């Protein structure tokens, strides 16, 4: 009975929060709801001014936790004012949703009198109307372009220096999602980033996207091909443009950097015209460069697949794709494939990464279609692997 009451209460709280958000949007204000377990305060208060003032005074003294208000549920004047605020609370432990009770006396002093943990699962948390997405920066990467495609150019996209930093920022609550490259038709699996998915056990896959990639040779205005001595790009960019480089710039030094856009930024800040970058046309616009040669990828079927990661529990709705990890011996892989075939789980892709324990032991990242979570459950019962469900999701 207690759980039913909590579920009903949470439904009321969600409705109240979304109503507040809707009213703010009608007034052209910005009131992001707490989502993805982030701790940033709303840009515009979601509480009435008197309640917000009392709330700010009460939580100021709380050094062990951060309180993010979502909705004022009640206020009562009895020799002072009692407020009940629906909040997200983050501290040293797991974030949680709570009813925070605040008392403000007649002199204007305010304090928290009680915090009631609603025991609401993380995946039930409301999301921001406009998501915040972390990605491999700087501005102008193909990953940023993939963010815009998957989220229909909604939300805000925050660049980070590495994929790991972008994922860790999402897990800290600075973003709702992190978008990472996963595989390319020419360069193959982006192994460093697959290792991030394997290593960060708190992440799951909320979505996926496929982006056609056109690589370009970018230079400072006025640079001629014969003067180029150095080419910068991400490892994938260098692989995808290798044949063109071997034909047109066989003597140039090829230097790997953290992203294609980082290579473009470095060229824009160079003192001379002896360097170039393999990057997107968007990077040329952003960093004031010229496209000296367009479409230099090895072939025109150049596509990169991306994962949209979340820190929430993996979804199990009927998917277009289902992804999971299976850790075990290479010798048991044929049995795993046979059981997948028996369950009609159609293999889309499989990547292997060493467990770094002994030879022949691998982490397998597997995607499939034509199946659901029940098929996955049966698979885990039949095969001698250590499994981790990554999620059910759509490809955009």
Q: Is it true that domain 314-396 has CATH number 1.10.3720.10? A: no
Residue 42 has pLDDT above 70, yes or no: no
Strand order from edge to edge, sheet including 275-279: 253-256, 230-233, 275-279, 216-219, 290-293
Containing 374, the helix (H) or strand (E) segment is: helix 373-382
β-bridge pairing 275-279 and 230-233: parallel
β-bridge pairing 290-293 and 303-310: unpaired
Same topology between domain 216-293 and domain 314-396: no
Q: Which long-range contacts (CB under 8 A, 24 or more apart) does 82-85 make?
A: 82/113, 83/51, 83/54, 83/55, 85/47, 85/51, 85/55
β-bridge pairing 346-354 and 361-369: antiparallel
CA distances from 328 to 21, 58, 332 (A): 47, 52, 7
Which structure tokens are listed for 334? 């044929």
Residue 9: pLDDT band (50, 70, 90) is low
CB within 8 A of 90, min separation 6: which ones?
37, 39, 65, 66, 68, 173
* Structure confidence at residue 17 (pLDDT): 47
* Structure confidence at residue 387 (pLDDT): 97
Angle (deg, nearest 10), helices 163-171 and 191-199: 20
3 state SS of 303:
strand
pLDDT, mean over the chain:
85
Query: With a threshold of 0.85, does the pTM exceed it?
Result: no
How much is the average pLDDT of 297-311? 93
How much is the average pLDDT of 41-64? 76
The domain locations on the chain are 2-124, 216-293, 314-396
Q: Which fold has domain 216-293?
A: D-Maltodextrin-Binding Protein; domain 2 (3.40.190)
Kindly report, residue by residue over 203-225, the tens digit of the pLDDT. 999 999 999 999 999 999 999 99
CA distances from 66 to 92, 93, 222 (A): 10, 12, 53
Separation of alpha carbons 91 and 96, rounded Å: 9
Burial class (CB in 10 A: 0-12, 13-18, 19+), 83: buried
* Structure confidence at residue 94 (pLDDT): 66
β-bridge pairing 132-136 and 96-104: unpaired
Percentage, residues of the chain above pLDDT 90: 63
Separation of alpha carbons 133 and 150, rounded Å: 11
Residue 43: pLDDT band (50, 70, 90) is very low
Q: Which stretches does DSSP call E strand in 4-80?
A: 65-77
> Cβ(346)–Cβ(370) under 8 Å?
yes
């Amino acid at each position: 009975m207690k759980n039913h009451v909590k579920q009903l209460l949470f439904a009321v709280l969600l409705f109240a929060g979304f109503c507040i958000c809707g009213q703010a949007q009608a007034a052209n204000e910005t009131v992001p709801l707490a989502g993805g377990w982030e701790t940033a305060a709303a840009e515009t208060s979601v509480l009435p001014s008197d309640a917000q003032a009392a709330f700010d005074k009460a939580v100021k003294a709380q050094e062990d936790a951060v309180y993010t208000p979502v909705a004022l549920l009640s206020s009562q004047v009895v020799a002072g004012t009692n407020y009940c605020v629906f909040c997200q609370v983050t501290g040293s432990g797991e974030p949680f949703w709570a009813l925070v009770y605040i008392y403000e006396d007649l002199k204007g002093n305010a304090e928290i009198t009680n915090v009631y943990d609603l025991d609401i699962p993380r995946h039930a948390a409301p999301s921001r109307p406009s998501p915040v997405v972390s990605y491999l920066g700087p501005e102008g990467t193909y990953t940023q372009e993939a963010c815009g495609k998957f989220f229909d150019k909604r939300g805000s996209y925050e660049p980070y220096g590495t994929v790991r930093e972008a994922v860790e920022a999402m897990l800290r609550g600075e973003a709702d999602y992190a978008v990472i490259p996963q595989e390319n038709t020419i360069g193959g699996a982006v192994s460093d980033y697959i290792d991030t998915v394997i290593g960060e056990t708190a992440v799951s896959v909320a979505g996926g996207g496929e982006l056609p990639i056109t690589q370009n040779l970018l230079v400072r205005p006025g640079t001629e091909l014969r003067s180029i001595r150095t080419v910068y790009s991400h490892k994938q960019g260098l692989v995808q443009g290798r044949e063109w480089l071997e034909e047109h710039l066989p003597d140039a030094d090829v230097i790997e950097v953290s992203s294609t856009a980082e290579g473009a930024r470095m060229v824009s800040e160079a003192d001379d015209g002896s360097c170039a970058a393999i990057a997107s046309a968007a990077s040329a616009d952003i960093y004031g460069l010229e496209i000296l040669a367009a479409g230099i990828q090895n072939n025109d079927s150049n596509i990169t697949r991306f994962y949209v990661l979340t820190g929430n529990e993996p979804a199990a709705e009927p998917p277009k794709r289902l992804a999971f990890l299976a850790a075990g011996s290479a010798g048991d892989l044929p049995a795993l494939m046979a059981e997948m075939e028996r369950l009609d789980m159609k293999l889309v892709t499989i990547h292997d990464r060493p467990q770094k324990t002994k030879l022949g032991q691998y982490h397998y990242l597997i995607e499939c279609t034509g199946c659901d979570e029940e098929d996955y459950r049966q698979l885990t019962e039949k095969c001698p692997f250590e499994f981790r469900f990554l999620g059910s999701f759509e490809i955009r």
